[in-house]
Amino acid sequence: MAIRQISLAAALLTSSIVLGVSGGALAAEAAHCSTRTLNGLYVFSASGDVIPASGPAEPKAIVEVIRFDGDGTLTVPAATRSVNGVVAQSSPGGTGIYSVVDLVPADGACAGHLTFTNGPSFDLFIRANGEKIWMIQTDSGNVFQGNARKVSR
């Protein structure tokens, strides 16, 4: 009877170790960053300034819907922006590309870069689950940053 209890305890311990390691491996794999980290519909809002060569800084704000396709491409179904008080809506159908990599050391966050076709570029800092993105425009003459939140798949 005692040998059977010891064997059962050893089997349970071994199972716990195996499940713990595979669970840890799954968690590590889930935290791995790639273009698949961003997949779905996000709302991006940002504000800052654009600094024209010919004059003082002008305030700039945008609210934009971005669909990340999980493969390094994106589309923009809708956007409204204001530059120095002049408001304009962008036509649907804008496109762009993005990349996503692990931060070093990997700590549950990702980094990346986004470039809109014929438009601005941004550095990205991403929560590893892809639910939130912090973005800063990297084009000269701009002091512009904001964040995007996932709203649907």
CA-CA distance, 106 to 128, in Å (whole number)?
Answer: 10
Per-residue pLDDT in tens (0 to 9) along the chain, 153 residues: 445 444 434 443 334 433 343 444 434 444 589 999 999 999 999 999 999 999 899 999 999 999 999 999 999 999 999 999 999 999 899 999 999 999 877 778 999 999 999 999 999 999 989 999 999 999 999 999 999 999 998
Which residues, 6 or more positions from 106, have their beta carbon under 8 angstroms from its beta carbon?
31, 32, 33
Q: What pTM was estimated for this model as a whole?
A: 0.77
